[in-house]
């Protein structure tokens, strides 16, 4: 069992867990992920490592309540425990050798973008962080981003915080103002990453996107996380999760991401009903 030593609600739908997992913490690097189960009967879900502390032996993950498993997770309190917590999995983000990098995050994807931005900052790169949310009530990790960014741009769809508009608006403005990036790293909704990729391709800027498709075993055996990258089949769990954004077939990835939407919605509602009736178990 893996104890939750700290639990923080970052906004109404996004929660942070700091989990006691010394062996994972010892090896964890930015860009990698874990696969966990809320209980012995639960499904496996992948969550990117938002932070880790080898000395404390803890790993931080951040999740958004969207389905049955994340609903279960959200009912576990500090001092509770997860049944399984396996990792670190996937390839770590490349952070050495860059002079200037733009990290573009959207929504809960900012939980993944933050450790990447921090690692680049510590490696000596000039980091420009562009983060976007629908509204100010959904903003997460703003102080953390500001602490590791030489330039920080906050965007909201409704203009309730930062500047009104999309992250692509901000990124285009930075590029057209003369900023020259060695690399852009984008993490967030598939549609956002698709348009960030299209923008940077227009300017010839190397770009990496972090992909988070359905995963089951984390070893490439199940094939659930397959993507088409440069016309070849890749597996996000072992070949990624980061890929050359200009080679990813985003349309295929978006189509695959909707395959289980109805099932997930029904499972989430059933789980919510159990907790409403006081029958949910932590």
- Exposed/middle/buried for 40, CB within 10 Å: 0-12, 13-18, 19+? exposed
**For the segment 235-269, what is each residue's pLDDT rounded down to a tens digit?**
888 888 899 999 999 999 988 867 555 545 554 45
H helices then E strands: how many in the chain?
A: 9, 16
Q: Which two tokens stand for residue 124?
A: 């000596």
DSSP 109: G
Q: Do 188 and 109 touch, CB atoms closer than 8 A? A: yes
- Residue 218 pLDDT: 73
Tokens at 105, concatenated: 């995050």
Give ∠ CA 139-4-32 in degrees, rounded to 5.
65
CATH fold match for the domains 2-89 and 100-191: no
Q: What is the pLDDT of residues 87-130, one digit of tens each?
A: 899 899 999 999 999 999 999 999 889 999 999 999 999 999 99
The gap from C-alpha 250 to its chain's centroid, in whole angstroms, comes to 17
- Separation of first and last alpha carbons in the chain: 13
CA 89 to chain centroid? 14
Give the C-alpha separation, 274 to 124, whole Å: 50
Prediction pTM value: 0.84
Q: Which CATH number applies to 100-191? A: 3.40.50.80
Query: Where do the structural domains in the chain lie, given as residue ranges?
Result: 2-89, 100-191
Q: Which superfamily, per CATH, for 2-89? A: Translation factors (2.40.30.10)
């Amino acid at each position: 069992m893996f104890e939750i030593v700290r639990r923080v609600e970052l906004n109404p739908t996004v929660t942070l867990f700091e989990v006691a997992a010394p062996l994972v913490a010892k090896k964890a690097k930015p860009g990698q992920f874990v696969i966990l189960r809320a209980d012995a009967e639960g499904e496996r879900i992948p969550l990117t490592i938002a932070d880790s502390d080898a000395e404390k032996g803890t790993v931080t993950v951040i999740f958004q309540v969207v389905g049955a498993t994340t609903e279960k997770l959200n009912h576990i309190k500090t001092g509770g425990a997860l049944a399984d917590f396996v990792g670190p999995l996937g390839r770590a983000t490349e952070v050495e050798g860059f002079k200037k990098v733009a990290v573009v995050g959207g929504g809960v994807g900012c939980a993944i973008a933050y450790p990447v931005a921090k690692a680049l900052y510590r490696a000596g790169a000039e980091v420009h962080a562009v983060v976007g949310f629908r509204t100010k009530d959904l903003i997460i990790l703003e102080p953390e981003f500001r602490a590791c960014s030489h330039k920080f741009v906050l965007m909201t769809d409704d203009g309730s915080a930062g500047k009104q508009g999309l992250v692509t608006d901000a990124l285009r403005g930075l590029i057209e103002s003369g900023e020259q990036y060695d690399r852009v790293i984008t993490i967030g909704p598939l549609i956002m990453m698709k348009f960030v990729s299209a923008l940077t391709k227009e300017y010839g800027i190397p770009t990496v996107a972090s992909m988070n498709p359905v995963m089951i075993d984390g070893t490439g055996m199940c094939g659930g996380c397959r993507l088409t990258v440069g016309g070849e089949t890749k597996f996000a769990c072992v070949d990624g999760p980061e890929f050359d954004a200009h080679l990813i077939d985003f349309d295929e990835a978006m189509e695959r991401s909707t395959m289980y939407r109805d099932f997930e919605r029904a499972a989430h509602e059933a789980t919510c009903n159990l907790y409403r009736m006081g029958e949910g178990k932590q």
